[in-house]
């Protein structure tokens, strides 16, 4: 095992509690949801036609990887 560089060692901080990361991700999800609700998929000419149709997957992924429901 190598000894860390003294400058590197000086900067050690403990990892954040999961709640901090969850709260920050929740802020991001709000921005994502806003964009998904306001963007007309037909505006995006870079997306193949088959991918432009609304898909249930974003909602499913939201449930899977999004922040916990505040009520739970």
Give me the residues that bind other proteins (CB under 8 A), please: 5-16, 20-21, 23-29, 31-32, 35-36, 41, 44, 46-47, 51-52, 58, 61-62, 65-66
Residue 69 Cβ vs other proteins, minimum distance, rounded to whole Å: 17
Q: How far apart are CA 72 and CA 55, in angstroms?
A: 26
Q: What tokens does 72 get?
A: 């739970």
Helix then strand count (H, E) for the chain reads 4, 0
Residue 19 Cβ vs other proteins, minimum distance, rounded to whole Å: 9
Residue 72 Cβ vs other proteins, minimum distance, rounded to whole Å: 19
Pick 53 or 71: Cβ nearer other proteins: 53
Angle between helices 18-38 and 57-65 (to 10 degrees): 170
């Amino acid at each position: 095992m190598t000894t860390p560089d003294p400058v590197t060692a000086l900067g050690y901080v403990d990892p954040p509690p999961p709640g901090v990361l969850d709260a920050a991700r929740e802020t991001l999800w709000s921005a994502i949801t806003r964009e998904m609700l306001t963007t007309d998929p037909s505006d995006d000419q870079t997306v193949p036609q088959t991918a432009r149709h609304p898909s249930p997957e974003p909602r499913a992924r939201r449930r899977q990887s999004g922040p916990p429901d505040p009520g739970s």
